[in-house]
């Protein structure tokens, strides 16, 4: 038989899926699994190849990371080049060129006051580190009682215990744990719509909440402009500006989680650029390595770093084994270079236009509650929860890989998708909406 590279015999594919279902946990899944996962054997450009040879356009970018597509020559070379030198080494007491080169780039391309870089090994850990920075900062000021955080409903910041306490406490994925989580302060989610007129009552409520609790607050934590895994909502830059003002008024640290929104996804390099707002602490991840390896980073200002280091604790109490992994750092630098070398704004604007044209019509379908598009993000919110298996049947018949969740059918495609490919993603999403 003529099996192409990476192709798998039906027997082997069946064996892998069967063992997987009995022994391997998947995200937010029971064990053994009720769902049959699709065996994927290779990925190149914007396409995934399944064991049976089917090719699917990946409208998910591997959970919003693979912005340049898969098997990219420049990214491959960055990894293999570094592999010949050093795959990993501890970061305690040692440094290396990939870590420093990436830090130089991050300091250069993130908002100006951010000058210090902590390398985390996942987005969740980057948010944990941000929380820790904020709390240690206030301990250093002799104000340990300022250990709570102000956030908004509808957010998602990661699956670890510190982060779970910042996710939506009622409809989010972690309400199960609410009794054992840190008690932070939740304002309602910002009113929806990028272009919505500012809701003065909402802003007044936000200001009142912050003023009432300022003495116990370390900072404000939000996803700027787009709330991702907590509901794929979009809000107006005005609210982010208001949060910066509130933070300044009460001396709170503004912590922005740009893990999902960073590196151009929303049409600006950083979502906070929509509001011309700079944070005191910022988390990046996901697209940082172009989807190649697990790495994230927490950046902070000189003032935050100095505050922590001049305090009694002196050291920031964090340091993972795989901190600043050289392979990940090398491919991250290559990914940033690649992004900046292309006309990424034009790519993202084109995706926005194609998604808008392809999805807006779905607004009138009976099963559809809302349609939202911003940058390279397209969302159809349905009235009822989507049956994932049914929806994926329709999507895959269109040659498209997406993974709806709850009432959301959404795409965050690689920026290198052609107009035709984005059009196919939009058509597939429309077909799902039409089937409801």
In the complex, the residues that contact ligand PMP under the rule CB under 6 A are 122-124, 127, 156-158, 223, 228-229, 257, 259-260, 285
Was 319 annotated as part of a binding site?
yes
Instruction: State the Cα–Cα distance between residues 220 and 160, nearest whole angstrom.
Output: 19
Q: Which is nearer to ligand PMP, 103 or 260 (CB)?
A: 260
Spot the catalytic one: 257, 280, 322, 410: 257
Strands 226-227 and 233-234: antiparallel
Residue 304 C-beta: closest distance to ligand PMP, Å = 19
Q: How far is CA 72 from CA 78, 254, 264, in A?
A: 10, 36, 19
Instruction: State the Cα–Cα distance between residues 35 and 21, nearest whole angstrom.
Output: 8
Was 358 annotated as part of a binding site?
no
Was 124 annotated as part of a binding site?
yes
Query: Among this protein's residues, is 85 annotated catalytic?
Result: no
Was 286 annotated as part of a binding site?
yes
Query: Among this protein's residues, is 410 annotated catalytic?
Result: no
Was 322 annotated as part of a binding site?
no
DSSP annotation of 274 reads: G
Place of tokens 């300091």: 107
Closest CA to 272 of 262, 286, 287, 281: 262
Which of 349-373 are b and which e, b meaning 16 or more Cβ less than 10 Å from the residue's Cβ?
A: ebbbebbeebbeebeebebbebbbb
Q: Which is nearer to ligand PMP, 123 or 290 (CB)?
A: 123
Q: How far is CA 388 from CA 283, 373, 396, 403, in A?
A: 31, 21, 12, 7
Residue 144 C-beta: closest distance to ligand PMP, Å = 26
Spot the catalytic one: 58, 121, 280, 286: 286
Tell me the residue nearest to ligand PMP as measured from the CB. 123
Was 257 annotated as part of a binding site?
yes
Spot the catalytic one: 70, 137, 156, 430: 156
Q: Which is nearer to ligand PMP, 155 or 358 (CB)?
A: 155
How many CB atoms sit inside 10 A of residue 405's CB? 15
Which of 78-116 are b and which e, b meaning 16 or more Cβ less than 10 Å from the residue's Cβ?
A: bbeebeeeeeeeebeeeebebbebbbebbeebbbeebbb
Q: Which is nearer to ligand PMP, 219 or 228 (CB)?
A: 228
Residue 259 C-beta: closest distance to ligand PMP, Å = 4
Query: Among this protein's residues, is 156 annotated catalytic?
Result: yes
Closest CA to 191 of 221, 225, 151, 164: 225
Was 344 annotated as part of a binding site?
no
Asked, as a colleague might, if the bond just before 32 is cis with ω within 30 of 0, I would say yes
Q: How far is CA 211 from CA 200, 248, 251, 329, in A?
A: 16, 12, 11, 41
Residue 283 C-beta: closest distance to ligand PMP, Å = 7
Q: How far is CA 93 from CA 96, 104, 241, 319, 329, in A?
A: 11, 19, 40, 12, 18
Residue 384 C-beta: closest distance to ligand PMP, Å = 24
* Residue 69 token pair: 């597509």
Residue 228 C-beta: closest distance to ligand PMP, Å = 4
Residue 221 C-beta: closest distance to ligand PMP, Å = 10
Query: Among this protein's residues, is 430 annotated catalytic?
Result: no
Residue 411 C-beta: closest distance to ligand PMP, Å = 15
Instruction: State the Cα–Cα distance between residues 118 and 319, nearest whole angstrom.
Output: 9
Instruction: State the Cα–Cα distance between residues 29 and 18, nearest whole angstrom.
Output: 15
**E strand spans, 253-364:** 253-257, 281-284, 296-301
Could you give the angle at the alpha carbon of 114 between the alpha carbons of 110 and 117, nearest 5°?
90
Was 320 annotated as part of a binding site?
yes
Q: Which is nearer to ligand PMP, 81 or 406 (CB)?
A: 406
Q: Which is nearer to ligand PMP, 99 or 127 (CB)?
A: 127
Dihedral in degrees, nearest 10, Cα atoms 105, 194, 276, 152: -80
Q: Which is nearer to ligand PMP, 8 or 66 (CB)?
A: 66
Q: Which is nearer to ligand PMP, 401 or 430 (CB)?
A: 401
Q: Would you name the residues annotated as active-site residues? A: 28, 156, 257, 286
Question: Where is the binding site for pyridoxal 5'-phosphate, in residues?
Answer: 123-124, 257, 320-321
Question: Where is the binding site for substrate, in residues?
Answer: 63, 156, 286, 319, 403
Question: Where is the binding site, in residues?
Answer: 63, 123-124, 156, 257, 286, 319-321, 403
């Amino acid at each position: 038989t003529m099996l192409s590279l990476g192709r798998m015999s039906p027997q082997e594919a069946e064996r892998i899926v069967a063992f997987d279902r009995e022994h391997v946990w998947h995200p937010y899944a029971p064990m053994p699994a009720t769902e049959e996962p699709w065996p994927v054997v290779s990925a190149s450009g914007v396409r995934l190849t399944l064991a049976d040879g089917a090719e699917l356009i990946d409208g998910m970018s591997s959970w919003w990371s693979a912005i340049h597509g898969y098997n990219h020559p420049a990214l491959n070379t960055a990894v293999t080049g570094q592999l010949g030198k050093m795959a990993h080494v501890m970061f305690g007491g040692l440094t290396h060129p990939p870590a420093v080169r990436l830090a130089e780039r991050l300091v250069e391309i993130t908002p100006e006051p951010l000058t210090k870089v902590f390398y985390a090994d996942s987005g969740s850990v980057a948010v944990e580190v941000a929380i820790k920075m904020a709390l240690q900062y206030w301990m250093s000021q002799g104000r340990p009682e300022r250990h709570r955080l102000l956030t908004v409903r509808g957010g998602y910041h990661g699956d670890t215990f510190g982060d779970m306490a910042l996710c939506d406490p009622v409809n989010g994925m972690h309400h199960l744990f609410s009794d054992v989580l840190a008690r932070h302060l939740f304002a309602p989610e910002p009113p929806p719509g990028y272009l919505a007129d500012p809701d003065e009552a909402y802003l007044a409520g936000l200001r009142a909440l912050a003023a009432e609790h300022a003495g116990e607050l370390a900072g404000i934590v939000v996803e700027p402009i787009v709330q991702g895994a907590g509901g794929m909502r979009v809000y107006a830059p005005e609210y982010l500006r208001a949060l910066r003002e509130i933070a300044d008024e009460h001396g709170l640290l503004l912590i922005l989680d740009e893990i999902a929104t960073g590196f151009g996804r929303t049409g600006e390099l950083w979502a906070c650029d929509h509001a011309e707002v700079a944070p005191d602490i910022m988390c990046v991840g996901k697209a940082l390595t172009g989807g190649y390896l697990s790495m994230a980073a927490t950046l902070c200002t000189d003032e935050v770093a100095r505050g922590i280091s001049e305090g009694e604790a002196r050291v920031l109490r964090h340091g993972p084994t795989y901190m600043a992994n050289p392979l990940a750092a090398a491919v991250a630098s290559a990914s940033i270079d690649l992004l900046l070398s292309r006309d990424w704004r034009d790519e993202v604007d084109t995706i926005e236009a194609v998604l808008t044209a392809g999805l807006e019509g779905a607004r009138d379908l009976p099963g559809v509650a809302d349609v939202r598009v911003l940058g390279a993000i397209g969302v159809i919110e349905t009235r009822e929860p989507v049956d994932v298996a049914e929806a994926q049947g329709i999507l895959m018949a269109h040659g498209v890989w997406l993974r709806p969740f709850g009432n959301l059918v959404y795409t965050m495609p690689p920026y290198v998708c052609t107009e035709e490919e984005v059009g196919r993603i939009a058509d597939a999403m429309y077909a799902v909406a039409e089937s409801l």
